[in-house]
Amino acid sequence: MSEARDFALLDGRIAVVTGAARGIGRAIALRFARSGCDVALCDRDADGLAETAHGVEAAGRRALCAVLDVREETAVAAFFESVAAEFPRLDVLVNNAGGGFQAPFAEITPKGQDALVRENFTQVADFVRRALSLLGDGGSIVNVTSIEAHRAAPGYAIYAAMKAAVANLTKTLALELGARGIRVNCIAPDVIPTPAVGDDFPPTPLARRGHADDVASAALFLASPLSAFVTGTTLFVDGGNHAAAGWRRRPDGSWEP
């Protein structure tokens, strides 16, 4: 993607982006900065976070960084105290951090299940709750879920269930916060190569894999005035995989169920 400044869709706005050290989170933070937004960033990866912050500052915007685990409530509370001290308000929250591991449901221990719940649902609710006191009327919350929130996911049962929970929470928050003009939406990616998941994917209906910048473009849309009448919905950034409902493109271009 070009390093040129995007149209100033977020000029003068302030965003929090979680999981911003690499992949989708980094792409979103950089796209926001090129659109005129100051960004508060957090991640466990200190080196990656510093690289993202450098990119934000290279775009002429302020970056506030916190190296933390989003599951640690004390660290998250301190992060929001720093945000409140550095910026006059918050306009956008992007809940991007999350993760999982592959295992049959019967083999997931209670400890493993608790980790998945905390990483993919509890921390999202915590970030939203803490952001609400800073979020100005007319703000935007963008929750990055997954296509797995909307279909069966063998080997990822708890992860997918928590992503589905976030999608449902998003709908409820859209209603509860609508009177303040705060919009709450999801992005459900698929086939997006990142350092965490690699790039071993079959072709999509669009006959290509996605890119983290594809998700960043969707986040920019949902964070900006372009989506001023959009709330409580999920935007699929998946090359058509949700629509395909299990159909796969063969190497010769034909399709199989």
Catalytic residue numbers, as ranges: 159
Nearest Cα residue to 149 out of 233, 66, 220, 228: 233
Q: Tokens at residue 110, please?
A: 């209670």
Side chain identity, residue 19:
G
Q: What single letter denotes the amino acid at residue 132?
A: L
Sign of the C-alpha dihedral, residues 18, 23, 26, 32? negative
d(CA 78, CA 167): 27
The CA-based dihedral angle spanning residues 70, 72, 73, 74, taken in that order and rounded to the nearest 10 degrees: -120
The residue count of the chain comes to 257
